[in-house]
Amino acid sequence: MASSYVNFFMFGSCLIAIFLSFIIYYILSMKQKSSNMYLFIFIYYIALFIFFIYIHSVLNSILTTPLTREARGVLRDVCLMVLVPQIIFNFIILGRTFGFNLKQFDFKSDLEELEIDTSDNEEVEITLGNDTYKVKRFFRKMLRLTKYFVLENKMFVIGSACILILIILLNIYTSVNVYNINYSENEQILASSLWYKIQESYITNTDYNNNIINNNKYYLAVKVNIVNKLSKNISLDRETFSLKLQNKTVNPCFSVSDRFNDLGTFFVPGEIDSGEDDDYVVVFELTENDVKNEYVFRIKNFSDNAIGIIDTKYKEIVIKPKNLNNIISKDPVSLPGEFNLSDSILKNYTISVNDYDISDRFKENYMIRIDNKEVNTIYSIIPKTTTKGKISVLKLETSFSSIDESVYMSKNIKIPADLFDYYGLLNYRIQGENKITKLKKINVSYKNESSAYLEIPSEVKDANKIELILLIRGIKYTFNLK
């Protein structure tokens, strides 16, 4: 925002005006001509230079601390008042321009006063030696001549020092407040007309079903909230996001879009609609050597052909991803048991398992309406999968709380069966051998929120130990069924 109103061209124009007004003032002062106006111009543009730095700082602060209505009015009025003298100076200088005569400076008499003679071209013999007193004498002479020069050219030295100080001041300000800023997660950032906030970040080598995505590859998933407050659509391309590593830059990976469906809308190049406020998941593919505790996530701020902008090309955010491969196991519970999944990506979702049963077929009674009459009907629930091994049905008597709508998975998890279909595993021991299988829900044609029907191997009926597991992105919840 600040770079849209205050840029390098404005500071450069001030420096040029300061330099020219000082040169003219210095020359007119030597000629004992009227020079007060140029002194005023010199002082005004120094003040304007400092004012631009202040305004840039204020505009940057507005991003995080909005101004009150009264403060905005005062700022607008002050900006207008500061520019009024510049208009007056322009009219005065324009009027004097038509009568400006270089002959009035009388440079010819200046050359005559210098009394330059051909004898000044005499040769001087210099002897090189190891006498240290000559070196000391040389430096004393240089110091003395510098002192004489400063005393005889006070105005020139003061003007040059002012310009140098202003340049240093601008350099310090931009270094501290513009170019060396690193943002943090959950901090609102304005870049290229859009608002961004890095909400969470994860490192994993598995998808939401806990399957290995690619051997020897890891994936950094960054959850980004993007808001478009403009009245037009904004396009994002492949270079909008990047990851800055020690010796390279990594661009997003778009080939694993179906593996991170539980974290948010997978980011692909396209348009952000006007008024849109949505979460996107930006995924980077990494090698095992690239896995670490901290990264610099970059958002492109402006294109390469933009010039004069006082801002960084990239907004850099320091992220500390959570390693989902380091599984955190919660204490197991027996039936009836309950877990609050607040530590997981599902936030405050609560799931309870009260009882279970295993059979090849379940028959459930439910009511349907025929000709405005309710009729009791029996619905048969059997496995839907046909495989080489025999499949049975695991029935879970469950209860649950509604999932927070702010959670992306709320659109996919409506009933407990959906939860177990995405994240459920069954660990069982049969004949001394531990086995684990993925759960798959069985869809029923009637509404039943208190029971979940899942396909499992038939041999589970003979197991002497059964554990129902929810493995939700690095968090493990275990129900002891048997």
The mean per-residue pLDDT over the stretch 67-95 comes to 72
Rounded Cα gap, residues 53 and 176, in angstroms? 12
Displacement of CA 85 from its chain's centroid (Å): 40
Whether domain 182-323 has CATH 3.90.1170.50: the reply is no
pLDDT for position 347: 78
Give tens-digit pLDDT for 179-200: 667 788 888 888 877 888 888 8
319: how many CB neighbours lie within 10 A of its CB?
Answer: 18
pLDDT for position 478: 92
Rounded Cα gap, residues 424 and 470, in angstroms? 5
458: how many CB neighbours lie within 10 A of its CB?
Answer: 15
pLDDT for position 30: 73
For residue 281, which amino acid is it? Answer: V
- Distances 127 to 120, 175, 251 between C-alpha atoms, Å: 20, 48, 65
Going by C-alpha positions, the residue among 155, 149, 152, 151 that lies closest to residue 21 is 155
Give tens-digit pLDDT for 28-63: 777 777 777 777 877 888 888 787 777 777 766 665
Is the CB of residue 367 less than 8 Å from the CB of residue 377? yes
| Cα dihedral 189/190/192/197 (nearest 10) | 40
Q: In the chain, what's the furthest Cα-to-Cα distance?
A: 128
Radius of gyration of the chain (CA): 38
The three-point CA angle 289-319-60 to 5° equals 140
Structure token digits, residue 299: 């958002």
List of residues 6+ apart from 65 with CB closer than 8 A? none
Going by C-alpha positions, the residue among 286, 191, 290 that lies closest to residue 241 is 191
Q: Is 306 helix (H, G, I), strand (E, B) or coil?
A: coil
- Distances 40 to 35, 48, 151, 159, 326 between C-alpha atoms, Å: 9, 12, 23, 13, 68
Region(s) of the chain under CATH 2.60.40.4170: 182-323
Which helix (H) or strand (E) element contains residue 54? helix 36-62
The mean per-residue pLDDT over the stretch 69-94 comes to 73
Residue 458: how many CA atoms within 13 Å on its side-chain side? Answer: 13
Give tens-digit pLDDT for 381-409: 888 776 656 888 999 998 887 777 777 77
Going by C-alpha positions, the residue among 446, 382, 453, 381 that lies closest to residue 417 is 453
pLDDT for position 389: 64
Rounded Cα gap, residues 45 and 14, in angstroms? 6
Q: Check residues 476 and 76 and name the one with the higher pLDDT.
A: 476
Whole-model pTM: value is 0.63
182: how many CB neighbours lie within 10 A of its CB?
Answer: 9
Is the CB of residue 272 less than 8 Å from the CB of residue 224? no
With a cut of 60, say whether residue 304 has pLDDT above it. no
- Distances 141 to 125, 136, 138, 418, 442 between C-alpha atoms, Å: 18, 9, 5, 89, 98
Mean of the per-residue pLDDT values for the chain? 78
Rounded Cα gap, residues 367 and 155, in angstroms? 99
Is the CB of residue 295 less than 8 Å from the CB of residue 310? no
398: how many CB neighbours lie within 10 A of its CB?
Answer: 22
Residue 481 bridge partners (DSSP): none
Is the CB of residue 349 less than 8 Å from the CB of residue 401? yes
Give tens-digit pLDDT for 98-122: 555 555 555 556 556 555 555 555 5
Going by C-alpha positions, the residue among 35, 31, 37 that lies closest to residue 103 is 31
